[in-house]
A and B are shown apart, each in its own frame.
Chain A
Amino acid sequence: MKRFLRAGAFFVLVLLAWHYGALYAVKKGWLSPVLAPDPLSVGQYICGAFRDGSMTTAIWVTFRRLLVGYSLGLVIGLPLGLLTAQFKAFRDTIGLVALGLQTLPSVCWVPLALLWFQQSEKAMFFVVIMGSLWSVLIATETGVRNMPPIYVRAARTMGSRGLHTWIKVILPASLPFLVSGMKQGWAFAWRSLMAAEIYVTILTGDGLGRLLHYGRELLAMDQVLGVMIVIVLIGLMADKILFAPCERFLHRRWGLI
């Protein structure tokens, strides 16, 4: 309760500082009134955008791209990571490629995606997949290779073999690495998708990044700030809903800090 009040008080202070800061900047002539909206008008924009549906549509479009792209990234990255950990042939080939491509900022995939898939959803899926795939792959490989081999030996004496060992021992044993890799993959995917949406028009739908871009074109600072706030909130929610439970589980079971 005390923490809640403290956080609340802090945000009220931030809003007040923003409000008076904006007023002051306009009065001094540092910013035109158009470029310094007060918090209330930004709030009004957000409410309005939700009411007329433009925000909900944009959130849904962006969210779908993330969900599909990220899931595919996991579905491809996880088994590839397992193979890379298990077989030298994969490590010397796919593993090397993954290591290299992980250093490539994923927004660099956008031009290629546009040329291949034109301005379609597929292009966005592709960018998100390329953003998340490599981190997931590398984290899976690291997790499996850092697993104490005694777990597998113990499981083998109890009669575990093949697929059972992979699913019941090797995967759960590398869970701490998997979760951090999935989190990193998510972060890369989210960032690259926003960048792509801002600088490319996708004909099949306008995401949050596009809404942000229109805000700039229309000189609507309340829209720019409003969309930014929504993007931050979505990022926070993803962390709290998707990853926080996993991390709590790890903390409870493993006793990890």
Chain B
Amino acid sequence: MIASNSVQAELQNVQPVKLVVEQVSKKFRSGGRHSHDVQALQNINLQVDEGEYVCLVGRSGCGKTTLLNVIAGLEKPDSGRILVDGKPVTEPGRDRMVMFQEAALFPWLDVLSNVLFGLRLKPNLTEADRIEVANFYLKMIGLEKFRHSNIHELSGGMKQRVALARALAPNPRVLLMDEPFGALDALTREQLYGDIQDIWLRRRKTIVFVTHNVREAVCLGDRVLVFSPNPGRIVEEYRIDLPRPRDINSVSLAEYSVAITRCLKGYGEDREVAE
């Protein structure tokens, strides 16, 4: 079967994009009688280059997920702005797809329809085109045999792979990943590290990846940014100059993660108590 022109165009990788975070701050009011403000983000400045893979590490509650949501357009910053390709972000958009910690797949749809969900919101494609595009991504993640399975029949790792296919299908220029492998077992995770690197090399996207797992960050990122909580800010930056694909168990990788973990501990809560 010869793919129609529109499918060809759709499957062509889009140019990854430069992402700029400018002076972003955000406060949350914690509930309860003794309510106090939590400074989730304080003057965050960050530039992610075209096709760069940036990982944010930090303790839970340090604001890294908030930053991701602000970039996604799901939350508004109190001040500052996000620029994608020079244009400010005001709302969620298909150019920035998100992969959540829970797969967030729709249980009322089968695997294929989940991947089709974003595609069906794209005009200028026929239904046949959309199905072809969806199948392309299902094949990429190795689940084309499961296209008519129900979500509850999939394992945790399979669910995250479908979520990845769903995020890739509308051909975004930025991929935002919020601890996508956090709930998986170690073996499944290691397999997915391989998959994600492979896919990233093939379909170059600008990726912002949030995790609290330092080794994971070093394994995947071109750059690892260390977040410190309350107020949430970026305190350190590491460039990871290791060849790809990387193996999470390699020794050279461990050197980086030791240094980053030490840095993280320095900015941990124990230090705040000492102050």
Cβ 8 A contact of B97, one of A151, A157, A160, A172: A157
The answer to whether B74 touches A157, judged by C-beta atoms less than 8 angstroms apart, is yes
The answer to whether A155 touches B153, judged by C-beta atoms less than 8 angstroms apart, is no
CA distance A148 to B170 in the complex (A): 23
Please, how many residues of chain A have a CB less than 8 angstroms from a CB on the other chain? 21
Please, how many residues of chain B have a CB less than 8 angstroms from a CB on the other chain? 28
The answer to whether A157 touches B72, judged by C-beta atoms less than 8 angstroms apart, is yes
Chain B residues with CB below 8 A from A168, complex form? 117
- Minimum CB–CB distance from A173 to chain B (whole Å) comes to 7
The answer to whether B108 touches A173, judged by C-beta atoms less than 8 angstroms apart, is yes
Chain A residues with CB below 8 A from B92, complex form? 156-157, 159
In this complex, what residue of A is CB-closest to B105?
A154
Chain B residues with CB below 8 A from A157, complex form? 72-74, 92-94, 96-98
The answer to whether B150 touches A151, judged by C-beta atoms less than 8 angstroms apart, is no
Chain A 233-257: CB-based contact to B (< 8 A → 1; otherwise 0): 0000000000000000000111100
In this complex, the member of A158, A160, A173, A253 whose beta carbon has the largest number of chain B beta carbons within 10 angstroms is A158
**A252-B108 CB under 8 A given contacts A150-B100, A157-B97:** no
The answer to whether B106 touches A159, judged by C-beta atoms less than 8 angstroms apart, is no
The answer to whether B108 touches A156, judged by C-beta atoms less than 8 angstroms apart, is no
Cβ 8 A contact of B170, one of A154, A158, A172, A254: A158
The answer to whether A159 touches B100, judged by C-beta atoms less than 8 angstroms apart, is no
Question: For window 67-126 of chain B, which residues contact chain A by CB distance below 8 Å?
Answer: 72-74, 91-94, 96-98, 100, 102, 104, 106-110, 117-118, 121-122
The answer to whether A158 touches B106, judged by C-beta atoms less than 8 angstroms apart, is no
CB of B152 within 8 Å of the partner chain: yes
Question: For window 130-178 of chain A, which residues contact chain B by CB distance below 8 Å?
Answer: 148, 150-151, 153-160, 164, 168-169, 172-173, 175
Cβ 8 A contact of B94, one of A153, A158, A173: A158
Chain B 111-145: CB-based contact to A (< 8 A → 1; otherwise 0): 00000011001100000000000000000000000
Interface of A is mostly: helix
The answer to whether A153 touches B74, judged by C-beta atoms less than 8 angstroms apart, is yes
The answer to whether B150 touches A172, judged by C-beta atoms less than 8 angstroms apart, is no
- Minimum CB–CB distance from B22 to chain A (whole Å) comes to 21
Chain A residues with CB below 8 A from B104, complex form? 148, 150-151, 153-154
The answer to whether B93 touches A159, judged by C-beta atoms less than 8 angstroms apart, is yes
Residues of B with Cβ closer than 8 Å to A?
Answer: 72-74, 91-94, 96-98, 100, 102, 104, 106-110, 117-118, 121-122, 150-153, 166, 170
Given contacts A150-B102, A168-B117, 13 further A-B contacts (CB under 8 A): A151-B104, A153-B100, A155-B117, A156-B91, A157-B94, A157-B96, A158-B94, A158-B118, A158-B166, A160-B117, A160-B121, A173-B106, A253-B107
Nearest 10 interchain pairs by C-beta: A255-B152, A158-B118, A172-B108, A159-B121, A154-B104, A150-B104, A156-B92, A157-B92, A157-B98, A159-B94
Residues of A with Cβ closer than 8 Å to B?
Answer: 148, 150-151, 153-160, 164, 168-169, 172-173, 175, 252-255
